[in-house]
Chains A and B, each alone.
Chain A
Amino acid sequence: MSQPPAPPPLPTRSHTLSHLATCTPPSPARTWQTAPHPHLPLLATACADRTVRVYSLSHFTLQTTIGGGHKRSVRALAWKPMSRGQSTLATGSFDASAGIWRKWESGGGDAAHDYTNLNPGGKGDDDDDDDGGDGDGDEEYNFASILDGHDSEIKSVAWSASGQYLATCSRDKSVWIWEELEDEDSFETVAVLQEHEADVKCVAWHPESDVLASGSYDDTVRVYREDVDDWVQVAQMGGHGKTVWWVEFEGSGMGRVLEAGVEENGERRAVLEERERAGPRLLSASDDCTVRIWRKVVKDEEGGGQTAGGVPSIFRKSIEEEWVTEAVLPLRHDRAIYAASWSRRSGMIVSTGSDGRIVVYKEQWRAAVPNGVEEEATAGGDQEMANGEGTAAKSKDETASLTEWVVVAEIEGAHDVFEINHVCWAKRYDKGKRNEDEEVIVSTGDDGEVKIWTLEEVSSSGGA
C-alpha cells in the first residue's frame, strides 16, 4: 500500500509480513514481553526500566506507564482473563516479586474508546496526566498486591484460563501457583513445584483445564495438574538440546483449521478425531534453535493397554501423562528462539529470537503419501536451503504424520539489528482492519520497541 513492496525474503512465500506500526514512544530500555489485553485494544509491555508501558492497539500510542512498583527489570506480565469491569495485570520482576495491578474499566469495558481524542503527539493532553491518584482514577493502574516468595528473578507469569490461578516461575528452580482469596487483595500459595533442576524460564496454562506447563534452563518441559489436593508433575519431556525459553498451548478445538481438507478422507478424519481426544497440543521454543510440537498420547480407558512394563497401578488410574514430539517446525532460526506463539484463530505459529527474524508457520495436510520424504534437517545451520526447505525437519516421533508444517512468511531484521525477545498474536483494532477476525503479530525487542505486523496472503490470481 503506502510502503514500497519490499522484495520477499528468499523463496516466495504464500504470505507476506508487513510492518504496520511501531508503538510510540518506545521504551528507552530493553523490552521483554508484550501481552494483548483480553478484550480491550491495549498492549502491556514489560520493560527493563522497571516499568510496564500500556499502548493502544488502535493508535499505537502510549496510554500509561506503570512504574514505582518493581525495583528491577519487569521481565514478564499477563492480563487476567475473564475480568470484565476491571483490568488486572500481573507482573514478574528480576526483583523476585510479582505484582498485581488493577484498573477499573469505565463504561463497562469501553474505556479504550475514550482515547479517541488523545493527541497522538502525546504532549499537552491534560487528560493524560490528570490522575487523581485515588482508587478510581480513570488513567491509573493501582498497585493491589505483591507476591513474595521466590528467592531470585521471576522469569514468567501466567493466569489459568479461568483466572483462578496465577503461576510464576524463577531462577530459584521453582514454579509457584497462587490463588486469589475472595474479596481481598491477597493471594495464597497453593503449590510450590520444584521439579526442574535449573532456572524455570517460562510457564503456560492449558486453554481449558487447570493444566500447567513449564520450560527450563535444564532443557526439559514439564506438565503439572492437580491430583486430589496436590499439584503434581504428570509429565517430563526431554528433546531440546538447550534451554527451553518458551512454552505455549494450542487454542481449543483448533482441529477445525484442517477440517477443509478432510472431506472423504478417512485417515485424515481419524487424525482429527484423535487430536480432539488428546486435546490442545503444546509448543516449546529453545536455545537449540528449534520449535517442537508436543502431543499428549491418548490412553486406553480400559487401562493396561499402553502402560509400559505393565506395572499395575495399586490405587487408581495413574495420573501420569505421556507427551511425545509430534513435529519439529522447519528450521529457520540460527540463534536462540526466545518465543513462539500459536494463533487461536488461524492455528498458525509465529516464532522469533536472537537472530532478529520473525517466521510464520502453518500446518497443512501432506500433499501425497509420505513415501520417503526427503527433508534436510540442518541443525540450526545454513538458512539458504535450496529445495525442500520450508518443510518440517524429520523426527522419529513424527513418522507417517499426515500433516506437515510449512513456512508461510518470514522477515529478517524485524527490529533492525536487535534481538527480539517476544512475539505474539493480537486482535486487530486499528482503522485499517479488514475483518472482525483479523489478527496482527506483535513483536518486542531489545531496541525497546513494540512493533505491529500484518500477515497477508499473497494472492495467486494477481488481485490485491
Chain B
Amino acid sequence: MKNLLKTILLVGAVVSGFVPALTLPAHALVEINVNKGNIEPLPIAITDFLSSGGQGKEISDIVTADLKRSGLFAPIDKAAFIEKISNTDQAPRFQDWTAINAQALVVGRVSQEGDGRLRAEFRLWDTFAGQQMIGEQFFANPQNSRRIAHQIADAIYERLAGEKGYFDTRVVFVDESGSKTQRKKRLVIMDQDGANLRYLSDGRAIVLTPRFSPNRQEITYMSYESGQPQVYLLQIETGQRELVGNFPGMTFAPRFSPDGQKVIMSLLRDDGNSNIFTMDLRSRNTTRLTNESAIDTSPSYSPDGSRIVFTSDRGGQPQIYVMGADGSGQTRISFGGGSYSTPVWSPRGDLIAFTKQSGGEFQIGVMKTDGSGERILANGFQMEGPTWAPNGRVLMYFDQAAGSGGPKLKTVDLTGRNQQSIPSKNFASDPAWSPLLD
C-alpha cells in the first residue's frame, strides 16, 4: 500500500507551465465541443518524442492510441509529416503542419533525471493560431512510463475537449478461461487500454462483479471461496482479503458508497427473495433498505450519495427503480418495452446506464435519472454490465457475440458511434472502471 501511494505521488508530480516559449493566447481557436451532436474527430499531429532510446516513440504511440480510441481525435499518419522536430523548445514551422491539416500539434522529449526518474515534457500547439496551448512536464519511475503517456493524453484531452480525460485509469475485471461448463474465473487489474495486466486471484474459486473503492486501493467483489457465495473486500496492493459481514445467506452485487464508508449489496432471504442492505465498514452496522418479496439487486449510488438506483422484479420482471439513500420513496423509472437491469449511476450524476433485454437481444443504454430520454448505445446477441469512465463520457461493458463462446470487453461513447474492443488474451467480463486519482 505504501509503495503504491509513493508511486502515485511520483507519477502525479506535474509541473505546469513548463518553459513557455511564447506568450499564452487569450483563447485558443482549436476546440472540440463534446456536446455537439455530430463530432468530427480533430486532426492532430503527434510527433515521436525526442529521446536517446526508443522511449520517445513509445510514449507518443501510447498518447496517439489513447486519443484515437476516444473518437474525438484523428491522429495524422506520421508519414505525412513535413517538418522533422529536432528542438522542442523552438516554435514549429506552423505552415508545415497546417499544410497537412493538423489543427493541433504535439511535440515532446523524454530524458532520464540524475536520480533515475523519467522526465517527459510536451507542448501542445494550435497550428492555425500559431500558439502554444499547453507546456507541461511529468516525472515518474521508468517502469511507469505508460502512465506518463496516459497523463499527457489526459492533459491534451482536457485542454481540447474541455473535460477531464480518463486515460490514466485502470479497470478491474474477470478473466475467463477453460470450458464454459467449468469456467475458471480470476480477478484481473489492468490499465484502461489493456496493458499491465495483473492477476489478483488464483482461479480456484468463482469470482464475480469486482468494483473499485473511491480511493482505488480496494475492490469489493463476490466469491465462492468459502463454498457459500459472499461479498469480500480485497486490498489491491497487499492482496489482503476480508469477508464483508457475517450473513446467513448469499450476499452479492456489492458496490461502495461514494464516500467509501459503506458497501451496498443484496442479501438472499430464506424465502428465496433478495433485498438490499448496506454495511458500514467501520461500525459493521447493517441497514436494510428494501423489504419486498422480490429480487432487489444491483444497487448503485448517485455520486453525491443521496440516492440509489437498483434492479427489482417486484412488478413481475426486472426493471429499474430509484430510492433515497435511506430506502425511502422507491420509484420505478424504466418503462420501455423489455426488461432492464444492472443500472449504474454516472459519475457526473446526470445519467443512468443499464442493460436492456428486448426482442431477443441485449442492449446497453442510458437514461436520465427520472427514466426519460432513453438512448440505446450498443446492441447485440448478448451484452451486459456497463461501467462508466470517470468522466462520464464512455461506457465499458462485456459483449458475447453469437457463436463466440465467451465475452470480451468493449467500450462505447455516449454518441453510440464510437465502439472499441479492449484486447485480451482470454475471455473477459464484469469490468469496473476505476475513478480518477486527484
A associates with B: no
Binding site for B on A (CB under 8 A): none
